[in-house]
Amino acid sequence: MKEATLYRVLPDGRVECTACARRCKLSDGQYGFCGVRWNLGGKLYLMVYGKISAIAVDPIEKKPLYHFNPGSMVLSLSTYGCSWACQYCQNFDISQRRVLEGFEVTPEKIVELAEDYGAQGITYTYNEPSIFMEFAYDVGILARKKGFFNTFVTNGYMTDEAVDMLSKFLDAATVDFKGNAEPKFLRRFSMVPDPEPIFQTLLEMKRKGIFIEVTDLVVPEIGDNLEYARKLARWIVDNLGPDTPMHFLRFHPDYKVDYLPPTPVETLEKHAQIAKEEGLKYVYIGNVWNHPLENTYCPSCGRVVIRRRGFDILEVNLTEDGRCKFCGAKINLGGRVWPTWRLSDRFAYVPIELLSRYVKITREQIEEFRSKVHVKRQG
């Protein structure tokens, strides 16, 4: 565990966590909605600091980031817990477990693994990274010094304080909307009171110069309202710009919403068409292999500049300075196209169980720590 940075002490002695937009106000011994940020003796602690639940090397396209360092490989990692409670989460065994445990690692070890596996960047993903911001910060600062880029896969449900902290080390983010950001859907199926903080986070990220791609999980029957899809696309055009990549992702039945079918491809195509009508230039359909909207098309001449199948890149038609090879139009890219796109497999298993010990923080250990803190305060 480590004392958090993102919190403040309230006049009544409680602490207010500022990692996510819930701003949980906690008395001594209480923990936040995420389950991993605890008030112990009047200070807020990140209990899963240096404790990861999963780690692997992925193609960056899996995040999905199609326009930021395409073709690269990223070391991806997570802890436990989340600031949301999505009933359809495919990573529910990680995100919806409020446990204080994981494989014990240091920021130095994470960066060392990135070097050993030939990754170009580090991605904080699988569960919501803003809840373990202090650990991500320490890893990210060190990673930047070593020449790695850093990316988040996030629900965007943050505070301005959190965005300011992540801006010190973060290069790019995939911000994941669910159900077209329809408030009723988010309240019912994610326990999110209001999507407005997500939009504020996006604005702050843009101000801070963080490269942004937006995804939207389209859930059939309950989270596929086309009016909200149009509203979301229009907001992105007006506030982030028409060059912002937008991905509409296919839902598959999982966790507590296993009674619905996968999103019909036709529904995703309707969403994509609406986004194009509103002016977005780079619109994708995700989780549907071999669909034409897996590819990146030049907004000027309409030719394919990056051809994909799933997470693989099959063809690149870009100049070294990121222009369409056919007409010379500038394509919105962050970073560069990495030659590793030619590798037949950019996934790698990291045997973390052989490299680290799995540790758990028990209630008894927490109470013992609290007792010591109280003794120090009284002394």
Q: Which amino acid is at 210?
A: I
Give the model's pLDDT for residue 371. Answer: 81
Pick from 134, 128, 235, 217: which is nearest to 180 by CA?
A: 217
Whether pTM > 0.85 for this model: the answer is: yes
Is the domain covering 51-294+337-349 a CATH 3.20.20.70 domain? yes
Could you read off the pLDDT of 266-301 as tens digits, one per residue? 999 999 999 999 999 999 999 999 999 999 999 999
Distance CA 122, CA 144 (A): 10
Distance CA 241, CA 331 (A): 14
First to last CA, the chain: 23
CA distances 154 to 63, 142, 146, 345, Å, are 10, 21, 24, 25
Q: How many CB atoms lie within 10 A of CB 168?
A: 11
- Which residue spans of the chain are classified as CATH 3.20.20.70? 51-294+337-349
Token code pair at residue 148: 């790695």
| CA pseudo-torsion sign 153, 159, 165, 167 | positive
Q: Tell me if the bond preceding 220 is cis, omega within 30° of 0.
A: no
Give the model's pLDDT for residue 372. Answer: 79
Dihedral angle of Cα 366, 369, 371, 374, to the nearest 10 degrees: -120
Give the model's pLDDT for residue 373. Answer: 77
Give the model's pLDDT for residue 208. Answer: 98
Contact 271, 200 (CB under 8 A): no
Residues of the chain with pLDDT under 50: none
Distance CA 38, CA 47 (A): 7
For the chain, count helices (H), then strands (E): 10, 21
- Between strands 15-17 and 7-9, the pairing is antiparallel
